[in-house]
C-alpha cells in the first residue's frame, strides 16, 4: 500500500510539471503581478464571507412573527425565521458577504427601519428599544458625491478623485491635514502625495496610541482611522466647494437616516469620531461602529449615486405629519412600509388593512412619531396579489399593490456563491483559479421551530482549466451521517474510487459527506482542443452543467443555527481517473484551513509547497499563506487561462495583503476593479 501511494505521488509530481507549463506565451500582459509576490498576513483566512451570531429580542407583545434580515434596500434576504426555543429571542447564525457591515431588521408591526451594525462578528438588537429612522419631506440631495478610502488613495489619472485630491489639497488644507484628537493623538499629512501613499491603509478598527506624521503605506493605523480620514476628505472637499456641491446643504449638514447615529449630522459625528480615534471619550460606541458609520459617509453618494444613508436635517417650519407608503419584495415576503416623513407626530391612531387576492388577511392601527416607520409583512406565491390600504391623518387613504412575489410560502434560507480551485496541490498552481469554477446554491427548508427538514443544493459547473479528471464533494461538519435519511441527485458512477452508501452519503466518513460528481471531464466533456472547458477563447463555449442534490434530514435532527450552513466544507478530489482507469480517493484540495475528510491521505501533507500542520489546524496553504481555493460570496466571473488573478482583478492583491480589510468586494464589477479582457465571461460570444 505504501508503495502504491508513493507511485501515485510521483505520478502527481510529474503531472504538476506538465500542467504548470500551460503555454505562458499566451499571457496578455507580462507585467501582471503574481499571487506569488503577495505579502499576506499569516492569520488571513481568505474568506469573502463572514458568519455572524445573531441575537434579536422580538417585541414583547403580540403573536410571534418571523424576523426578516436583509441588506439596506431589502433586495437580498439573509434570514427569515423564528426563535428556536419558543421564546421571543432569535439566537442563530447567518453567513453574509464580508463587505457588509450593517443589516436591516424587519418585523411585522414593529417600527423601523432598523439598521444594525455588525460588531465583533455579532449582530445584537432589541425591538423593545427601537430608534427612529430619519427622513424629511422634499429633501433635495442632487449634486452630492463621495468617494471611498481607496478612491482617495488612488494615483491621479484623468479626472479621477486622485486628480481632484492633488489639484485642490493645498486650498482645502492651507497648512496641514490633521485628523484625530488634538489633545491626545493625531494623524498629520503634509501634502496630497502623503495621503496617496497611506490610503487605503488597513487593519482592524482601533484607536490611535501615538501621533503619526505622514504614515507610510505599510503602517496600517486600522480601519477606524482609514474611514474617518476618507470621511474628512469627503466633508472638507465638499465644504470647500470642490466636491459634490448641493444648492441647499453641505455634506456636513446632512444627518444619518438610521442606526446608532440616527439624526446626528456628519459634522457632529466627525467631531465625536475624531475625539474617539485620538484616544478620547468613545461616547458608548465601539471602534467598529465608528469605522462602519464613517464608511457609510464615504458610501453615501459613492460616485454620485444616493445610497439612502444620509438625508437632510429636519425642517422645523413644518408641523404636520406626512404619511407615505411603499413596498418591496423580499421573497417569499412582501414588505409594506408606512412612514411619517413630516415634522409633526400623529395625534391619533389610524387603521390599516392588508388584502391577499382581494381577501382581507390582516388589519390593525398605526400611530407614528416624526421619522418613524412601521412594517407590515405577508408571504405567499408569485401568483398572489397583495394590497395594503391605510387611513392617513388628513382623513384620506393610501394604498399600495404588489404582486409577482413569493416562492410558495415555504420557510427556507439560502446560501449561494462560487468556488474557484487550483488543482495542483501540494504543488503550487498558476493562480488563475480556474481549474474548477462551480456555483453553489443551498436552499435550506425548515419549519417555524427552525428544525431543518431538508436541503436542495444546486451546483453549476461553469468551467475547468485542468488536465486532470477531478471529482467534487462537500462535508457538512456539524451534521452526523445518521442525521441524513437520504441523498439523491448526485452523479457518481466510479464505484472503485467512491463508495456511496444506500442513503447517498459517502461511506467511511464521520461527518456527513456528499460526493456531487466523480469526474468533471465525464459530466462536461471537452468537445474541442485546449486545456479544459470554457477557459480559452480559441475553443468552443460549452453550456454549464447543473446538478441538483436533495438531502432529506431525519426528524428533529438539527436546527438551522446548529447546521451553520456557512461552515460547509467543499473540496475537489484530484485524479479520480488516470489514463482511462480509476485513480485514487485520497488526494483532496480544500479551502484554506479547512480540514480534509476522513478519507484523505495525509501522506501529501508537507510535500512540495504545502505547509499544512495538523497540530496547528493549518491546512492547504503555503508557507507564505497562499491558498489553492477561494470561496467567493457571490457569482464569480472567472479568469481566462494563463492569466494570474491579480492581473484580472485589480483589487485582489490589496484585499489579500490587507488581510481582507481593504476591498472585500474585490470580485464585483465596480469601476476600476477589473480588466474585462482577462475575464472569460465578459469575452465569450455564446
pLDDT in tens, 9-41: 444 444 433 333 333 222 233 333 699 999 999
The continuous run of DSSP H or E covering 212 comes out as strand 212-213
Burial class of 7 by CB neighbour count within 10 A (0 to 12, 13 to 18, 19+): exposed
Q: What would the mean pLDDT of 565-580 be, rounded to a whole number?
A: 98
Q: What is the CA radius of gyration of the chain?
A: 27
Q: What is the pLDDT of residue 646?
A: 95
Lowest model confidence (mean pLDDT) among 149-153, 267-271, 369-373, 543-547? 369-373
Cβ neighbours of 292 (radius 10 Å): 24
Cell numbers placing 346 = 400623529
pLDDT of residue 343: 76
CB atoms within 10 A of CB 163: 14
335 with 68: CB under 8 angstroms?
Answer: yes
3-state helix, strand, coil in the chain (%, to 5): 20, 30, 50
Average pLDDT over residues 366-378: 86
112: confidence class by pLDDT, cuts 50, 70, 90: confident
- Domains in the chain, CATH or no CATH each: 2-12+411-643 (no CATH), 49-129 (2.60.40), 149-311 (no CATH), 324-403 (2.60.40.10)
Task: For the chain, give the percent of residues with pLDDT over 70.
Answer: 92
Distance CA 113, CA 524 (A): 47
Q: Indicate the pLDDT class of residue 132, thresholds 50, 70 and 90.
A: low
Task: For residue 445, give the 3-state DSSP assignment.
Answer: strand
- pLDDT for residue 162: 96
Mean pLDDT score, 588-598: 98
Report the pLDDT value the prediction gives residue 168, as an integer from 0 to 100: 98
Per-residue confidence (pLDDT) for residue 129, from 0 to 100: 82
Asked which of 13-27, 225-239, 330-344, 450-464 is least confident by mean pLDDT, the reply is 13-27
pLDDT attached to residue 103: 95
Average of per-residue pLDDT across 108-131:
86
Q: Say what the pLDDT of residue 289 is.
A: 94
28-32, 368-372, 373-377: segment of lowest average pLDDT: 28-32
Confidence of residue 113 (pLDDT cuts 50, 70, 90): low
Q: Which of 130-134, 195-199, 384-388 has the lowest mean pLDDT?
A: 130-134
Mean per-residue pLDDT, 521-540: 95
First and final C-alpha spacing in the chain: 48
pLDDT value of position 33: 67
Q: Please report the pLDDT score of residue 22 as a whole number.
A: 32
Q: Determine the average pLDDT of the residues in 131-158.
A: 82
What average pLDDT does range 554-575 have in this prediction?
98
Judged by phi (left if over 0) then psi (alpha if -120 to 50, else beta), residue 620 lies in left
How confident is the model over 106-120, as a mean pLDDT? 87
pLDDT confidence tier of residue 341, bands split at 50, 70 and 90: confident
**What is the distance between the alpha carbons of residues 656 and 13, in angstroms, rounded to a whole number?**
28
Does the pLDDT of residue 677 top 70, yes or no? yes
CA distances from 122 to 294, 414, 632 (A): 19, 20, 21
pLDDT of residue 332: 77
pLDDT band, very low/low/confident/very high, at 681 (cuts 50, 70, 90): very high
What's the pLDDT tens digit per position in 483-510?
Answer: 999 999 999 999 999 999 999 999 999 9
pLDDT of residue 6: 38
Predicted pLDDT at 313: 86
Q: How far apart are CA 540 and CA 524, in angstroms?
A: 13
pLDDT value of position 643 = 94
Tell me the CA distances in angstroms from 54 to 94, 98, 349, 435, 478, one per residue in order.
7, 15, 33, 36, 18
- Our separate counts of H helices and E strands in the chain read 12, 31
The rounded distance, in Å, linking the Cα atoms of 684 and 686 is: 6
- 314-327 residue pLDDT tens: 764 446 899 999 99
Higher local confidence (pLDDT), 589 or 19: 589
The confidence band for 384, taking pLDDT boundaries of 50, 70 and 90, is very high
pLDDT tens profile 53-97: 999 999 998 889 999 999 988 889 999 999 999 999 999 999 999
* Mean pLDDT (whole number) for 552-573: 98
Q: Let me know: does 169 contact 325? Beta carbons within 8 Å.
A: no
CA distance linking residue 195 with residue 187, whole number of Å: 11
Amino acid at each position: 500500500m505504501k508503495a502504491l501511494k508513493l507511485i501515485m505521488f510521483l505520478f502527481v509530481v510529474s503531472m504538476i510539471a506538465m500542467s504548470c507549463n500551460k503555454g505562458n506565451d499566451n499571457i496578455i500582459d507580462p507585467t501582471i503581478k503574481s499571487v506569488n509576490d503577495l505579502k499576506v498576513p499569516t492569520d488571513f483566512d481568505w474568506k469573502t464571507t463572514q458568519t455572524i451570531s445573531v441575537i434579536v429580542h422580538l417585541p414583547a407583545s403580540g403573536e410571534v412573527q418571523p424576523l426578516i434580515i436583509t441588506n439596506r434596500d431589502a433586495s437580498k434576504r439573509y434570514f427569515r425565521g423564528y426563535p428556536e426555543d419558543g421564546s421571543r429571542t432569535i439566537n442563530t447564525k447567518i453567513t453574509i458577504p464580508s463587505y457588509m457591515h450593517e443589516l436591516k431588521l424587519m418585523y411585522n408591526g414593529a417600527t423601523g427601519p432598523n439598521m444594525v451594525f455588525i460588531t465583533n462578528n455579532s449582530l445584537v438588537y432589541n425591538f423593545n428599544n427601537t430608534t427612529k429612522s430619519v427622513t424629511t419631506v422634499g429633501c433635495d440631495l442632487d449634486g452630492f458625491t463621495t468617494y471611498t478610502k481607496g478612491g482617495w488613495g488612488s494615483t491621479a489619472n484623468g479626472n479621477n478623485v486622485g486628480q481632484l485630491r492633488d489639484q485642490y489639497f493645498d486650498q482645502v488644507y492651507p497648512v496641514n491635514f490633521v485628523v484625530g484628537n488634538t489633545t491626545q493623538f493625531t494623524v498629520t499629512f503634509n501634502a496630497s502625495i502623503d495621503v496617496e501613499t497611506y490610503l487605503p491603509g488597513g487593519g482592524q478598527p482601533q484607536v490611535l496610541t501615538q501621533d503619526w506624521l505622514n504614515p507610510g503605506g505599510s503602517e496600517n493605523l486600522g480601519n477606524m482611522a482609514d474611514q474617518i480620514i476618507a470621511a474628512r476628505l469627503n466633508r472638507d472637499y465638499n465644504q470647500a466647494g470642490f466636491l459634490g456641491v448641493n444648492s441647499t446643504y453641505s455634506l456636513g449638514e446632512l444627518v444619518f437616516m438610521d442606526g446608532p447615529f440616527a439624526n446626528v449630522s456628519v459634522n457632529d459625528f466627525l467631531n465625536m469620531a475624531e475625539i474617539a480615534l485620538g484616544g478620547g471619550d468613545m461616547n458608548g460606541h465601539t471602534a467598529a461602529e465608528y469605522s462602519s458609520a464613517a464608511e457609510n459617509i464615504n458610501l453615501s453618494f459613492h460616485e454620485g449615486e444616493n445610497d439612502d444613508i444620509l438625508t437632510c436635517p429636519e425642517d422645523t417650519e413644518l408641523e404636520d405629519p406626512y404619511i407615505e407608503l411603499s413596498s418591496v419584495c423580499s421573497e417569499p415576503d412582501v414588505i409594506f412600509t408606512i412612514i411619517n416623513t413630516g415634522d409633526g407626530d400623529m395625534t391619533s391612531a389610524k387603521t390599516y388593512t392588508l388584502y391577499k387576492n382581494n381577501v382581507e388577511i390582516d388589519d390593525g392601527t398605526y400611530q407614528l412619531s416624526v421619522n418613524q416607520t412601521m412594517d407590515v409583512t405577508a408571504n405567499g406565491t408569485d401568483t398572489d396579489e397583495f394590497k395594503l390600504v391605510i387611513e392617513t391623518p388628513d382623513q384620506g387613504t393610501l394604498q399600495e399593490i404588489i404582486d409577482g412575489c413569493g416562492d410558495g410560502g415555504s420557510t427556507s434560507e439560502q446560501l449561494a456563491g462560487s468556488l474557484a480551485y487550483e488543482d495542483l496541490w501540494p504543488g503550487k498552481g498558476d493562480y488563475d483559479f480556474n481549474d474548477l469554477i462551480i456555483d453553489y446554491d443551498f436552499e435550506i427548508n425548515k419549519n417555524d421551530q427552525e428544525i431543518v427538514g431538508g436541503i436542495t443544493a444546486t451546483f453549476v459547473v461553469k468551467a475547468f482549466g485542468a488536465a486532470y479528471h477531478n471529482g467534487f464533494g462537500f462535508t457538512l461538519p456539524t451534521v452526523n451521517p445518521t442525521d441524513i435519511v437520504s441523498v439523491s441527485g448526485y452523479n457518481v458512477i466510479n464505484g472503485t474510487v467512491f463508495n456511496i452508501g444506500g442513503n447517498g452519503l459517502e461511506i467511511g466518513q464521520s461527518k456527513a459527506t456528499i460526493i456531487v460528481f466523480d469526474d468533471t471531464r465525464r459530466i462536461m466533456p471537452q468537445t474541442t482542443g485546449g486545456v479544459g472547458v470554457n477557459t480559452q477563447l480559441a475553443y468552443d463555449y460549452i453550456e454549464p452543467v447543473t446538478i441538483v442534490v436533495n438531502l432529506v434530514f431525519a426528524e428533529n435532527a438539527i436546527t438551522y443555527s446548529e447546521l451553520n450552513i456557512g461552515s460547509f466544507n467543499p473540496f475537489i478530489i484530484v485524479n479520480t481517473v488516470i489514463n482511462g482507469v480509476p485513480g485514487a480517493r485520497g488526494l483532496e484540495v480544500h479551502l484554506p484551513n479547512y480540514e480534509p475528510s476522513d478519507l484523505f491521505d495525509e501522506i501529501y501533507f508537507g510535500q512540495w509547497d504545502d505547509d499544512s500542520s495538523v497540530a496547528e489546524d493549518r491546512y492547504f496553504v503555503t508557507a507564505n499563506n497562499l491558498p489553492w481555493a477561494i470561496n467567493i460570496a457571490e457569482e464569480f466571473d472567472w479568469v481566462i487561462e494563463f492569466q494570474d488573478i491579480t492581473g484580472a482583478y485589480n483589487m485582489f492583491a490589496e484585499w489579500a495583503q490587507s488581510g481582507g480589510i481593504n476591498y472585500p468586494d474585490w470580485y464585483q464589477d465596480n469601476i476600476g476593479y477589473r480588466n474585462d479582457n482577462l475575464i472569460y465571461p465578459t469575452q465569450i460570444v455564446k
